[in-house]
Copies of this chain bind each other. A is one copy, B any other.
Amino acid sequence: MNTEPIRFFYEFASTYSYLSAMRISKLAEQRGRSVEWVPFMLGPVFHERGWTTSPFNIYPDKGRYMWRDMERLTQAAGLALVRPDPFPQHSLLAARLAVVGRLDGWTEAFSRAVFVAEFGEGQDISQPHVLAAILATVTSDADAAMQAAGDPEVKQQLRDNGEQAAQSGVFGAPSFVTPDGELFWGNDRLEAALDWRGPTT
């Protein structure tokens, strides 16, 4: 096992992050690699570009294609796909909860469950009661976790994740950053990121 993890930057509102979240652990295990799950908010990145919503909404042709592409890819992967309404979903509370889970080790299980609820079942993950129900499946103290999501240090950690993402050159989700700092963008690059062994020239 390579002790240095690959960092998996994901955004709960991102459709392609759903695909990666559902397969990264198995692929990493097959290669003896570990993964650090790093939730972050893509909104600030988009705002810097002057975007106030997803580019898939701004550019309808691109959006239509993305949903069709997701249909094909989820079908091939044996995953359900239900378009959440609205899209994109407000993901701030889910992301803060994912940060909370790092202390007790349920970030990964929680994150996968959120993605399944959102894109596999079409649930509204901006709703605290939806997230509370998911929390109850991964921790015995869901109330404390919900409480902790409001802590200043949790909010700051999420902002730090975004800062870390920006410093690594991340501009979209999912993104993968190797221990030597190599950036890979998109679910299509997951295998390449896990197989990366450094520059060959």
The interface of chain A, by Cβ under 8 A from chain B, is 49, 59, 61-62, 64-65, 68-69, 72, 75, 169, 171-172, 183, 185, 188-189, 192, 200-201
Q: Using Cβ atoms and an 8 Å threshold, which residues of chain B touch A59?
A: 49, 171
Q: Is the CB of A183 within 8 A of B68?
A: yes
Q: Using Cβ atoms and an 8 Å threshold, which residues of chain B touch A189?
A: 69
Question: Contacts A72-B192, A188-B188, A201-B75: A62 and B183 contacting too (C-beta < 8 A)?
Answer: no
- In the bound complex, CA of A189 to CA of B188 (Å): 9
Q: Chain A interface secondary structure, helix, strand, loop or mixed?
A: helix
- In the bound complex, CA of A41 to CA of B51 (Å): 26
Q: Using Cβ atoms and an 8 Å threshold, which residues of chain B touch A185?
A: 65, 69
Partner of A75, one of B68, B172, B188, B200: B200
Q: Using Cβ atoms and an 8 Å threshold, which residues of chain B touch A69?
A: 185, 189
List the number of copies, as a whole number. Answer: 2
Q: Is the CB of A62 within 8 A of B171?
A: yes
Q: Using Cβ atoms and an 8 Å threshold, which residues of chain B touch A169?
A: 61, 64-65
Leading 6 A-B pairs by shortest Cβ distance: A61-B171, A188-B188, A62-B171, A65-B185, A61-B169, A65-B183
Chain B: CB-nearest residue to A64: B169
Looking at the assembled complex, report how far the CB atom of A175 sits from the nearest CB atom of chain B, in whole angstroms.
9
Looking at the assembled complex, report how far the CB atom of A169 sits from the nearest CB atom of chain B, in whole angstroms.
6
Chain B: CB-nearest residue to A61: B171
- In the bound complex, CA of A61 to CA of B169 (Å): 7
- In the bound complex, CA of A188 to CA of B61 (Å): 19
Looking at the assembled complex, report how far the CB atom of A59 sits from the nearest CB atom of chain B, in whole angstroms.
6
Looking at the assembled complex, report how far the CB atom of A180 sits from the nearest CB atom of chain B, in whole angstroms.
13
Chain B: CB-nearest residue to A201: B75
Q: Is the CB of A171 within 8 A of B201?
A: no
